[in-house]
A and B are shown apart, each in its own frame.
Chain A
Amino acid sequence: MADSPFVIAGRTFKSRLIVGTGKYPSHVVMAQAHAAAGAEMVTVAVRRVNISDRSKESLLDYIDDKIFILPNTAGCYTADDAIRTARLGREAGLSNWVKLEVIGDERTLFPDNEALIEATRVLVNEGFIVLPYTNDDPIACRKLEDVGASAVMPLGAPIGSGLGIQNANNIRIIREFSKVPVIVDAGVGTASDAALAM
């Protein structure tokens, strides 16, 4: 099977695996994991600085210079919050790309698609490259693409569940419908789950 390039918003990535920066035992282990994975893009969260605990270690010091950093809007429950966080991420960071999350439910962390579509529309109009985290609903993915998302990121399973892809058929349909890249996000538990997704 011939490999086709992975292109998002005109930028080509050699690796189709996007890795996070959370839940590692240390920044050093995280850097080793990134190197071992051959990751070209990693996600980071935009968060308030801890004013009272000013530990000198910065996450950015441990991310290789060649790796593209994608800020996410984790922890945002409204379109307004996600939009503000995306703008802050752009200001703090190195690009106008954002992995957009608008969470609809605190327990399951499922996305609020209505707010997500609105936030995507606003941010695309401000020149952001938006990669929205959504669910495996082909119609939601189509609407996100219609408002200018540069990729769609349907969840495989709830965030943190490690259950692996729960609805492969929907993901297949999304892939068939989409003209932008489809990135399976969330719930990917094992290396074999990730391989299957890719």
Chain B
Amino acid sequence: MTIILNGERFELDSPLSVTALLAKLDIDPRRVAIEHNLNIIKRQTYPDVLIGEGDTVEIVNFVGGG
């Protein structure tokens, strides 16, 4: 199945939770913020929010800037 992850098409085998997606991408959940279909997802709900076909996901963190 295909989702849009950070603006690019991304392939997944099946729907999965935000927690599972972060684990798959090797991303530390404590250091990021997630937007799922334009909704900001609270950290405590990461295990419960399911990402499915056609969903849009944004994963952001802090980088150097002014």
A residues apposed to B, CB below 8 Å: 20-24, 30, 43-49, 51, 54, 58-60, 69, 71-72, 74, 84-85, 87-93, 159, 186
Interface membership of chain B positions 17-44, coded 1 if the CB is closer than 8 angstroms to chain A and 0 otherwise: 0000000011110011111001011110
Judged by a CB distance under 8 angstroms, whether B12 is at the interface is no
- Closest-CB distance, B31 to chain A (whole angstroms): 6
B6: which of A49, A90, A186 is its contact (CB, 8 Å)? A49
A45: which of B8, B43, B65 is its contact (CB, 8 Å)? B65
Tell me the nearest residue of chain A to B10, going by C-beta.
A51
CA distance A1 to B63 in the complex (A): 38
Name 24 interchain pairs, CB-CB below 8 A, sorted by A. A21-B64, A21-B66, A22-B65, A23-B66, A43-B65, A46-B62, A47-B62, A47-B65, A49-B6, A49-B27, A49-B59, A54-B25, A54-B26, A59-B62, A59-B63, A60-B31, A60-B62, A88-B33, A91-B34, A91-B40, A91-B41, A91-B43, A93-B33, A186-B66
A interface SS class: mixed
CA distance A46 to B40 in the complex (A): 14
Tell me the nearest residue of chain B to A73, going by C-beta.
B65
Chain B residues with CB under 8 A of A44: 62-65
